[in-house]
């Protein structure tokens, strides 16, 4: 069962008790959750899961509206211009809020001014995988080999400026490893070439790679999160590797829920409370964790999310400036 299937199941049916007055409130105007990506992806499934599970807690109908394009910029700009009346929310990712400001010379929205943070949904760690023909079995060996080869090693990503690309650039800066970027239009083609030996390694989402790891077609060296993942408990974190410069290494993509700036604080807090209750469900957390998704810890509400966005924006800015990445 892959992450898409798990999230689809969660969106289709959930154990949340309906709030009093739900029938009456369904006649009110619906709350729209804008997903700035195409349907069927991870962010879309998370948005649909939240709409399904938060609606009973809020006593309101919630619907999902996909507005993909421009690296999530089209959907983000739509919500930034929406009335601040609590009827329009955005599933904003690390790309939307922390990466795009550095990749685009002009954005149709201002990440830290146009939105009211509600809460963190969770994070998507990456898995460092290599073709089994590469003679390395640890991060330390990978760094040593990359430094020893005149042209270094090649790595694939889902595209220039993607979290996969930037995580490797962060890794290069931390370790001094010589790694050459080969961008693709999506993770799928990159994984295919890695399996075929056209690439040496990749920092991949866990779901597309885990089946190949378990089949022995790819070798997993580490995860990029701060802790090991239940989906692959035997795989260490990069920080555990002992390689120079990796002691505090962490690079994850993340998803959050935000509203237009100026949304009344009481509404923001109400949505934050509902989000927190949804993400605290043990069964839901276990299912998400089994697919390599890290549900947010309790208490990551509006104020902490705002601080997190600021710190992540600065951190990714340093990586992007160092890599010279741009999509303009």
Contacts of 193 (CB under 8 A, 6+ apart): 156, 182, 184, 199
Q: How far apart are CA 79 and CA 275, in angstroms?
A: 19
Q: Can you tell me the distance from the alpha carbon of 143 to that of 153, in angstroms, rounded to the nearest whole number?
A: 10
For residue 85, the tally of other CB atoms under 10 A from its CB is 13
Domains located in the chain, CATH noted: 3-123+254-323 (3.40.190.150), 125-240 (3.40.190.10)
* Residue-by-residue pLDDT tens, the chain, 328 positions: 555 555 555 555 443 333 444 334 344 789 999 999 888 777 888 899 999 999 999 999 999 999 988 889 999 999 999 999 999 999 999 999 999 999 988 999 999 999 999 999 999 899 999 999 999 999 999 999 999 999 999 999 888 888 889 999 999 999 999 999 998 877 788 999 999 999 999 999 887 788 899 999 999 999 999 999 988 999 999 999 888 899 999 999 899 999 999 999 999 999 999 999 999 999 999 988 887 888 998 778 999 999 999 999 998 998 888 877 777 6
Round to the nearest angstrom and report the end-to-end CA distance of the chain: 38
Instruction: From 81, 138, 129, 87, select the one nearest 108 (Cα to Cα).
Output: 81
CA distance 129 to 203: 6
Query: How many CB atoms within 10 Å of residue 160?
Result: 15
Distance CA 88, CA 80 (A): 9
Rounded to two decimals, the pTM is: 0.79
């Amino acid at each position: 069962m892959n992450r898409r299937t798990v999230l689809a199941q969660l969106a289709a049916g959930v154990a949340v008790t309906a709030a009093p007055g739900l029938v009456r409130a369904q006649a009110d105007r619906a709350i729209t959750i804008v997903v700035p990506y195409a349907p069927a992806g991870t962010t879309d499934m998370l948005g649909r899961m939240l709409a399904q599970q938060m609606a009973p807690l809020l006593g309101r109908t919630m619907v999902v509206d996909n507005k993909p394009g421009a690296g999530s910029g089209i959907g983000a700009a739509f919500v930034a211009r929406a009335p601040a009346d609590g009827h329009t929310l955005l599933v904003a990712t690390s790309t939307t809020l922390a990466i795009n400001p550095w990749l685009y010379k002009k954005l149709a929205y201002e990440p830290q001014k146009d939105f009211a943070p509600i809460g963190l949904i969770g994070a998507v760690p990456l898995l460092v995988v290599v073709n089994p023909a590469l003679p390395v079995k640890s991060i330390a060996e990978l760094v040593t080999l990359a430094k020893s080869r005149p042209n270094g090693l090649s790595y694939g990503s889902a595209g220039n400026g993607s979290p996969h690309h930037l995580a490797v650039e962060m890794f290069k800066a931390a370790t001094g490893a010589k790694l050459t970027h080969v961008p693709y239009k999506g993770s799928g083609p990159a994984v295919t070439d890695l399996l075929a030996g056209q690439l040496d390694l990749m920092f991949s989402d866990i779901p597309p790679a885990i089946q190949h790891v378990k089949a022995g077609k790819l070798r997993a060296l580490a995860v990029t999160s701060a802790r090991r993942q239940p989906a692959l408990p035997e795989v260490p974190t990069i920080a555990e590797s002992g390689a120079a410069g990796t002691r505090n290494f962490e690079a994850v993509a993340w998803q959050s829920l935000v509203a237009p700036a100026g949304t009344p604080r009481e509404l923001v807090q109400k949505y934050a409370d509902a989000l927190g209750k949804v993400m605290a469900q043990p069964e839901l957390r276990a299912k998400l964790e089994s697919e390599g998704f890290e549900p947010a810890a309790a208490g990551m509400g509006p104020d902490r999310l705002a601080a997190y966005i600021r710190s992540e924006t600065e951190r990714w800015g340093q990586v992007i400036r160092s890599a010279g990445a741009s999509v303009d």
